[in-house]
Structure 1
Amino acid sequence: MFSRCVAVAQTTPVKGDVAANVEEHLSLAKLAVDEGADIALFPELSLTGYELALGESLAFEENDARLAALVDLAERSGTRLVVGAPIRIEQKLYVGAFIILPDRSIEIYTKHRLGTFPSSSVCDSLTGEIPPPEPNHFQAGDRNPLIPFNETVAAIAICADIGRPEHPQRAAERQANLYLASMFVIPSDFAGDTAKLARYAEQYQMTVALANYGGPSGGLTSAGRSGIWSPTGKLLVQLEEAGSGVAVVRESPDKLHVRAIMRK
């Protein structure tokens, strides 16, 4: 059995304030590093918040200078960081994830299936309005790099991607044994989405990780409760509904260590 340490970070984004959100990412990433994390996963659009209308004005380029401090941290620590942002590629805007590697290289995953909130989302809305459909602002993407490290192969999903069973299936077919779900999950969707993730973990014998917001964004409340499931579908660790923090699972040949760290 191999050794690895996986962390999920639960953020409380500041609307459109990339600098403040980068600082929170650095703080949470350092908590993960202190726990020995090989990889730390952040939520969907974590660097801007789930602010679809701001995607164009806040869009990141492929080698964006605003990532510099995160790149430096990945290099110093040896920890891989997966962070969410609106990303402009060849004049098209995507919901993306930057994969920041310890050698200072950056890869990009782009969300394959764009989301629309159902009418039930009104129950979770802070403003009484449903966010516009993601296709109003973004293109569906097809970038899908794997992240190999130690004896791990990690695959990424962004939120609505998990709604297509073929997505985790293809990850498993590509030998992934870690499935990283970068998401913004509202309370009314939480039970259904986490049931899917637990089922995928058991079906494909993959560790599955969920990173969610711990505070409101885009006019909606968040369900929080970021967590990690074992390859048997057992929930190993979970954060609270509100607040920021990191959840960590460290696996070794003779021991399983889990820890949840909340910052109020």
Structure 2
Amino acid sequence: MKLCAAQLSSITGDIEGNIGKHCAFIQRAVEQGAALILFPELSLTHYAPSLAQGLATTPDDPRLDALQHLADVHGIIICAGLPVTGAPLPRIGMVIFQAHQPRGLYCKQRLHADELPWFSPGEGQALIRLGEHGLAPAICYESMLPEHADEAVAAGADFYLVSVAKSANGIAAGQQHYPAMARRHGMPLLMSNSIGPVEGFLTTGQSAAWNRQGDCLGTLPDGQEGLVLLDLESERVELIPGP
């Protein structure tokens, strides 16, 4: 079973354009035999908190039908991010597309202080079932909090899907924290980061995978679009160039 993290640069505020780019990455993942593809935080809009209110939508937005179609045709699970409507403020959402199923939604439960003026927190941990595995999404800031991983494991997770928009400093901290969480829970971890400028800082890629012992299995360099493809059985990683 293969899972992959996409590393890409999105276009700020252009949901339709970003859907087209996501479709190209999904097709590349399908060619590699992936059962799941994970995109960075807010990948469908880029990370732009001040624009979230105007961009927020619902998982059933018909513009997302192209992603659902690929999930249906290829049987691949797609995890893509965008702001979703909520009260009083939008939430940082991850829409989960599975073949011939209603669209799932996970919303970031713990927000960074800088996000509080723009977003409301989500409630509850999602769990994606894939074969015998339970995969728990985590979105950026909350993935750096040990209690989030603890609660995910308590909910039945044995794999951690981390979707981020991180700067060089954030990635450096993650490279210390994520292997510690993998060892703490005996839980492999896959992390997807964007590249290029977002609102307020520069994201620096280095999407990666760690095994349950906390060993880094492979990392994409900054500035390069591509896929981190993890084979769960062999614990081998391939770094695939972007489409």
* 2:201 match: secondary structure: coil
Query: Which is greater in Rg?
Result: 1
Give, as a single letter, the amino acid of the residue that structure 2 aligns with 1:61.
Answer: T
Give unpaired runs (5+ residues) of structure 2: none
Alignment map for 1:71-86 (pairs within 5 Å)? 71-86=68-83
Instruction: Confirm whether residue 235 of structure 1 aligns to residue 205 of structure 2.
Output: no
Q: Which residue of 2 aligns with 1:12?
A: 9
* 1:216 match: secondary structure: strand
Give distance in 1, aligned partners of 2:20 and 2:162: 22
Q: Which residue of 1 aligns with 2:126?
A: 145
- Evaluate the alpha carbon distance shift between residue 220 and residue 92 of structure 1 in structure 2; reply closer, same or farther with a 3 A threshold: closer
* 2:92 match: secondary structure: strand
Q: Which residue of 1 aligns with 2:41?
A: 44
Give distance in 2, aligned partners of 1:198 and 1:71: 33
Q: Which residue of 2 aligns with 1:128?
A: none
Q: Is the 8 A contact 1:61 1:89 kept in 2?
A: no
TM-score of the pair, normalised by structure 2:
0.95
Q: Which residue of 2 aligns with 1:261?
A: 240
- Show CA shifts across 1:3-51 (max 9, x none): x211000120111111111111111111111111111111101000011
Give distance in 1, aligned partners of 2:202 and 2:87: 33
What is the CA-CA distance between 1:91 and the residue it aligns to? 6.0
Alignment map for 1:171-250 (pairs within 5 Å)? 171-250=152-231
Give, as a single letter, the amino acid of the residue that structure 1 aligns with 2:226.
Answer: G
Q: Is the 8 A contact 1:239 1:262 kept in 2?
A: no
Q: Is the 8 A contact 1:108 1:144 kept in 2?
A: no
Give distance in 2, aligned partners of 1:110 and 1:187: 24
- The aligned length equals 243
- Show CA shifts across 1:118-161 (max 9, x none): xxxxxxxxxxxxxxx21111101113220011111000111111
Q: Which residue of 1 aligns with 2:116?
A: 135
- Show CA shifts across 1:225-249 (max 9, x none): 1011101101112111113211101
* 2:90 match: secondary structure: strand
Alignment map for 1:97-176 (pairs within 5 Å)? 97-116=94-113, 133-176=114-157
Hey, which bits of structure 1, 4+ residues long, moved more than 6 A?
none
Instruction: Confirm whether residue 93 of structure 1 aligns to residue 90 of structure 2.
Output: yes
Q: Which residue of 1 aligns with 2:52?
A: 55
Give unpaired runs (5+ residues) of structure 1: 117-132
- Show CA shifts across 1:193-250 (max 9, x none): 2211111111101110110002221142112010111011011121111132111011
Q: Is the 8 A contact 1:62 1:88 kept in 2?
A: no
TM-score of the pair, normalised by structure 1:
0.88
- Show CA shifts across 1:161-214 (max 9, x none): 123211101111222111011101101221112211111111101110110002
